[in-house]
């Protein structure tokens, strides 16, 4: 597929948001719809009021009924959002004086996702009086029935999209319930859990049961920031407050011992820590436990209070992440080899709008990552499947902008009721299970449904940038201003730019990354540049040379105490890729 550059806005001189901002940062904000400096305020005062999230008051009363003599069991998901949600809820309830609090996270290979009847049976051996789900539960109808038939109360806190029928829980807190008037539907699971905990803290103070409960809840914002960034939810104004406040705590060292240990083992720490460091250094190590082993390791790391214990668990998570990377590299090579014809189709060759991939040897904990890599390469929705048992496949879907993957699956299920056992997810990611014998039928139905969506979606070949920088703007102070201007993330993308450069030298490092020295076409200034993961493992390296259209980000490279500008190359395109008209 031939990609084309589309600029978010024309980069005109001057800063529409005020003279105190770096000019480039001001233009970047304007391109994201920011029209006043007040919109950039990430103080806690800007957080949507706790009481405005429907269900929190009822959730608080249910929790209080089990505080003194009950046994509360937190059941989470096996990803970073679920791990941070679980750790947050356990830390909060324990700190608020609950008599008995424990957690249980389903092993994805034995129980699958959510509050299933099987996980309820396991939970029942611990004799809970209340089950609290975090980052799951909204589609766990059968599991809720199983729990309540045993006399166990159920509080669901979730952010996933609900199905046609809600589970019969005692209380549900979910900003995506139909009719919700809460000001942000983009909360991650850990964000929903935080709102419940914050409401509980306020109520405890009103009752005179915990004088510093609100302050204790705010101390959990490091977990909220990590889970929110890791789950790649849109960074709307409310989520930007949560992430910014959590980052502030982490930078100051006022975070859990587990987060400190994970940052240390990833060699990321200090006052310049960004949301990207959480996304690309901490979250993968935490997620590795749920992908390859048991997310209990990750949750225990986040619950650890001593540096030694947290360090040991972080080291184990790092080992699992290295193992995950090796497995992913092999699977990614196989997957991209299978779809190479789709990325550069021949005239007359059949096209697919939605792609399904399956290999019996693939690891079910890693298929989501592979689906994401292939979707990024093909710029179309991808589902990668792995064997769940003898007759069942478990799939992980990743989408592209403009195609709501969970709604696509819902439409497939509506048109073909016998195809999908169960599914759930978000706009950009989803999971599902189906019978192995029905994979071919599902693949055709999925392709047809995505094609319907694609007809009204934006062009898949578009790369959005913030335009071309003047040579003097490609500078360290610009990079520092942009880094400080975050947090950046989903729906509030990190600034990237495009321009014509001459590639003076290029060499391969680490088997997949390309280190370059590039010179701007006009102005003659040269820069250090690197393209991470430019090659698929095993792909032949052909050094790029000559003129090229680069899509890049500005980064601050710190080495031996010195800060230098570095260009992070996202796309290296032929020189005939002239940017299209400004939108």
461 or 375, higher pLDDT? 375
- Model confidence at 341, in pLDDT bands (50, 70, 90)? low
Return d(Cα 232, Cα 209) in angstroms, integer. 36
* Average confidence (pLDDT) over 396-421: 92
What pLDDT score does 340 carry? Answer: 74
- Model confidence at 11, in pLDDT bands (50, 70, 90)? very low
Any idea which architecture 4-32+462-573 has in CATH? Beta Barrel (2.40)
What pLDDT score does 29 carry? Answer: 92
Concatenate the DSSP letters of all residues of 500-539 into one string.
EEEEEEEEEETTTEEEEEEEETTT--EEEEEETT-S-TTP
Return d(Cα 409, Cα 420) in angstroms, integer. 9
5 closest CA partner among 408, 393, 550 = 550
Task: Give the tens place of pLDDT for each residue, 14-24.
Answer: 445 666 789 99
Task: Give the tens place of pLDDT for each residue, 525-541.
Answer: 899 999 988 876 666 78
Cβ-contact 468, 9 below 8 angstroms? no
The residue ranges of every structural domain in the chain are: 4-32+462-573, 52-319, 339-454
* Average confidence (pLDDT) over 80-87: 97
Q: In this structure, are strands 526-531 and 153-157 parallel, antiparallel, or unpaired? A: unpaired
CATH number given to 339-454: 3.10.310.30
Return d(Cα 179, Cα 176) in angstroms, integer. 8
Return d(Cα 1, Cα 379) in angstroms, integer. 9
Give Cα separations from 254 to 96, 106, 236, 249, 486 (angstroms).
19, 30, 25, 5, 20
191 closest CA partner among 138, 153, 246 = 246
437 or 15, higher pLDDT? 437
- Give the number of other Cβ atoms within 10 Å of residue 111's Cβ: 18
- Helix, strand or coil for residue 547? strand
**Which of 61-75, 190-204, 260-274 has the lowest average pLDDT?**
260-274
- Model confidence at 580, in pLDDT bands (50, 70, 90)? low
Cβ-contact 106, 78 below 8 angstroms? yes
Q: Is the pLDDT of residue 581 over 50?
A: no
Residue for token digits 């393209």? 531
What integer best gives the mean pLDDT of the chain? 90
**Which of 227-231, 269-273, 306-310, 444-448 has the lowest average pLDDT?**
269-273
Q: Is the pLDDT of residue 569 over 70?
A: yes
What pLDDT score does 9 carry? Answer: 66
518 closest CA partner among 508, 536, 505, 509 = 505
CA angle, residues 425, 115, 51, in degrees to nearest 5: 70
* Average confidence (pLDDT) over 104-121: 86
**Percent of the residues in the chain that have a pLDDT greater than 90, as a whole number:** 70
- 3-state DSSP helix/strand/coil percent for the chain, to nearest 5? 40, 20, 40
Q: Is the pLDDT of residue 345 over 70?
A: no
Task: Give the tens place of pLDDT for each residue, 190-242.
Answer: 999 999 999 999 999 999 998 888 888 999 999 999 999 999 899 999 999 99
What pLDDT score does 319 carry? Answer: 97
What pLDDT score does 6 carry? Answer: 85
500 closest CA partner among 549, 545, 464 = 549
What pLDDT score does 343 carry? Answer: 61
Q: In this structure, are strands 355-358 and 562-573 parallel, antiparallel, or unpaired? A: unpaired
- Give the number of other Cβ atoms within 10 Å of residue 359's Cβ: 16
Return d(Cα 496, Cα 531) in angstroms, integer. 14
465 or 574, higher pLDDT? 465
What pLDDT score does 537 carry? Answer: 63
* Average confidence (pLDDT) over 178-187: 95
CATH T-level fold of 52-319: inorganic pyrophosphatase (n-terminal core) (3.90.1640)
């Amino acid at each position: 597929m031939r990609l084309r550059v589309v600029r978010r806005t024309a980069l005109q001189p001057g800063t529409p948001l005020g003279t105190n901002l770096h000019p480039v940062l001001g233009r970047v904000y304007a391109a994201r719809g920011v029209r006043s400096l007040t919109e950039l305020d990430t103080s806690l005062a800007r957080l949507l009021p706790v009481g405005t999230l429907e269900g929190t008051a009822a959730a608080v009363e249910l929790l209080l009924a089990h505080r003194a003599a009950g046994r509360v069991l937190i059941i989470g998901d096996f990803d970073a959002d679920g791990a941070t949600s679980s750790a947050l809820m356990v830390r909060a309830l324990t700190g608020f004086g609950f008599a008995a609090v424990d957690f249980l996270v389903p092993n994805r290979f034995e129980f699958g996702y959510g509050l299933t009847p099987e996980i309820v049976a396991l939970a029942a051996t611990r004799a809970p009086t209340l089950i609290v789900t975090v980052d799951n539960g909204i589609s766990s109808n059968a599991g809720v029935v199983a729990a309540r038939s045993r006399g166990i109360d159920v509080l669901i806190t979730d952010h996933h999209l609900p199905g046609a029928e809600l589970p019969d829980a005692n209380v549900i807190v979910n900003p995506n319930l139909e009719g919700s008037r809460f000001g942000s539907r983009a909360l991650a699971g850990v964000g929903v859990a935080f709102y419940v905990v914050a409401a509980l803290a306020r109520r405890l103070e009103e009752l005179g049961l915990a004088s510093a409960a609100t302050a204790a809840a705010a101390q959990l914002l490091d977990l909220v920031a990590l889970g929110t960034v890791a789950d790649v939810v849109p960074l709307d104004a409310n989520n930007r407050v949560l992430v910014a406040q959590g980052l502030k705590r982490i930078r100051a060292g006022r975070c859990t011992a587990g987060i400190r240990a994970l940052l240390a083992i990833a060699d990321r720490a200090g006052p310049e820590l960004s949301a990207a460091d959480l996304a690309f250094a901490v979250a993968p190590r935490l997620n590795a436990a749920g992908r390859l082993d048991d997310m209990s390791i990750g949750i225990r790391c986040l619950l650890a209070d001593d540096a030694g214990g947290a360090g040991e668990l972080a080291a184990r998570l790092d080992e699992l992440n290295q193992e995950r990377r090796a497995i992913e590299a092999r699977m990614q090579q196989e997957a991209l080899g299978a779809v190479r014809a789709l990325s550069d189709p021949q005239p007359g060759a059949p096209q697919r709008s939605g792609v399904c991939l399956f290999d019996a040897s693939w690891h079910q904990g890693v298929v989501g990552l592979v689906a994401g890599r292939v979707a990024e390469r093909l710029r179309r929705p991808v589902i990668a499947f792995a064997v769940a048992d003898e007759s069942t496949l478990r799939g992980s879907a990743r989408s592209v902008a403009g195609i709501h993957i969970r709604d696509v699956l819902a439409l497939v299920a509506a048109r073909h009721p016998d195809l999908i056992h169960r599914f759930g997810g978000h706009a950009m990611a989803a999971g599902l299970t189906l019978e192995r014998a029905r994979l071919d039928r599902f693949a055709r139905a999925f392709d047809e449904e995505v094609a319907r969506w694609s007809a009204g979606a934006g062009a898949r070949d578009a790369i959005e940038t913030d335009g071309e920088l003047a040579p003097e703007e490609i500078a360290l102070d610009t990079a520092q201003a942009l880094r400080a201007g975050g947090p950046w993330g989903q729906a509030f993308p990190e600034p990237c730019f495009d321009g014509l450069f001459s590639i003076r030298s290029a060499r391969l490092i680490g088997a997949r990354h390309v280190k370059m020295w590039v010179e701007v076409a006009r102005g003659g200034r040269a820069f250090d540049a690197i393209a991470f993961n430019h090659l698929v493992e095993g792909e032949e390296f052909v050094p790029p040379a000559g003129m090229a259209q680069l899509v890049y980000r500005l980064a601050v490279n710190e080495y031996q105490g010195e800060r230098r500008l570095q260009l992070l190359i996202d796309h290296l395109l032929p020189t005939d890729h002239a940017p299209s008209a400004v939108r």
